[in-house]
Amino acid sequence: MNKQIKAAGAALAIAALLSLAGCGTSTVSKNISDDGRAGEVVFPDIGKDAWLKEGTFPNLDNLRRIAPGVTKDQLYDLVGRPHFRESLFGVREWDYIFNFRVPGGVKTCQFKVIYDTALRAQSFHWLPADCAELLKVASPSVERIAEKTPMPQRVELSADALFAFGRSGPADLLPQGRRELDALAAGLRGARETSRIRITGHTDRLGSTSFNEQLSLARATTVRDHLVQAGVPARGMQVQGKGETEPKVQCEQKKREELIACLAPNRRVEIEVDAER
């Protein structure tokens, strides 16, 4: 009996792989350009074309790491294989069904990724469009600070979510950045004792080395000042800027706007917290 069950399971797995390696779904976007843009975005029908109709609950931190320039392997690592009958090889678009927990229940969204001719993701689309707003709330890493769990904690915030591009002052903080820092501050205020908070700014490689060092330090300083204004004790806080010296990704795009987008993971502020509740 066990051998029959294993054989049946293997057959199902092979069938699933064959379906993914076969032809793409018949419902595809129209007029996809070489640089990964669609003249008309078309979402496939969940009822007819999805092999995983129930979708998945994605990791929000992973979703926020998806940016122009990611490869199929990188996207697969972040959110898994596409949920529709699209080939893993050669096709120019992947589609997903994602579920998000929202007040009152669960919101289901479709997410489309369109690739350029080099098979690097370049454009991203949501159905309905307001699903993109779900990524703008405080990240799970920030929310975990507010939970009653042991510390230390390490939080990584996207500089693009915190600041306008190339800016670093308090007036340059974006609304999403303020929300994330306020959520972090709320968790830190609830800690019984905070012995050390190290705030480190990082930049991409664009601009001079000296400019990037100054920018990264200025951003870390602004984050510290915002936390202090939000009621977090300044005692034990340390700030430093590492500029472009610790990149997370390497990008070679020729067009400046594409290069800026690809280098987004390098622009970040890391916050290490050693505290007890």
Q: Do 193 and 221 share a structural domain?
A: yes
Q: Does some domain include residue 8?
A: no
Contacts of 208 (CB under 8 A, 6+ apart): none
Whether residue 10 is contained in a domain is answered as no
Specify if 80 maps to a domain: yes
Q: Return the SS3 of 104.
A: coil
- Clarify whether residues 270 and 168 are in a common domain: yes
Those residues with Cβ within 8 angstroms of residue 84's Cβ, 6 or more apart along the chain or in another chain = 25, 44, 49, 50, 51, 94, 95
Matching residue, tokens 């939080």: 155
Rounded Cα distance between 142 and 139, Å, is 5
Express each pLDDT in 137-182 by its tens digit. 554 455 554 444 444 477 888 888 888 888 888 888 888 888 888 8
> pLDDT tens digits for 112-146?
999 999 888 899 999 999 998 888 755 445 555 44
**Does some domain include residue 113?**
yes
Q: Which two tokens stand for residue 182?
A: 């306020």
CA 189 – CA 200 distance, rounded (Å):
20
Please check whether residues 262 and 153 belong to one and the same domain. Answer: yes
Residue 4 lies in a domain: no
Q: Give percent of the chain above pLDDT 90.
A: 28
* 7 occurs within a structural domain: no
| Same domain (yes/no): 270, 206 | yes
> ∠ at Cα 200 (144, 266), nearest 5°?
90
The contacts of residue 202 (CB under 8 Å, 6+ apart) are 159, 216, 241, 242, 243, 244, 246, 247, 266, 267, 268, 269, 270
Residue 259, Cβ density class (10 Å: 0-12 exposed, 13-18 middle, ≥19 buried):
middle
Residue 36, amino acid: G
DSSP secondary structure letters along 5-49: HHHHHHHHHHHHHHHHHSPPPS---EEE-TTS-EEE--PPPHHHH
Nearest to 162 by CA among 203, 103, 127: 203
| Spatial separation of the C-alpha atoms in residues 173 and 141, rounded to whole Å | 19
Shared domain check, 153 and 91: no
The span from the CA of 94 to the CA of 113, in Å, is 5
- Quick check: is 9 in a domain? no
Residue 203 lies in a domain: yes
pLDDT tens string for the chain (277 positions)?
A: 555 544 444 444 434 443 444 444 434 789 999 988 989 999 999 998 898 899 999 888 889 888 888 888 888 888 888 998 776 667 899 999 999 988 888 899 999 999 999 888 899 999 999 998 888 755 445 555 444 444 447 788 888 888 888 888 888 888 888 888 888 888 777 665 556 889 999 999 999 999 999 999 999 999 999 988 888 888 888 999 999 999 988 888 888 888 888 888 888 999 888 755 4
Largest CA distance in the chain: 69
Same domain, 251 and 159: yes
The helix/strand count (H/E) of the chain reads as 9, 9
Q: Are residue 227 and residue 120 in the same domain, yes or no?
A: no
* Same domain, residue pair 147 and 92: no
Residue where a domain stops, chosen among 136, 160, 187? 136
Pair 107, 197 in one domain: no
Provide the domain count of the chain. 2
Is the CB of residue 220 less than 8 Å from the CB of residue 202?
no
Give the residue numbers spanning the domain of 44: 21-136
Which 8-state DSSP code applies to residue 240?
E
CATH assignment at residue 211: 3.30.1330.60
Final residue in a domain of this structure, among 136, 161, 196: 136
Q: Which of 136, 164, 197 is the last residue of a domain?
A: 136
78 and 152 belong to one structural domain: no
* Whether residue 264 sits in one domain with residue 145: yes
Same-domain pairing of 117 and 87: yes
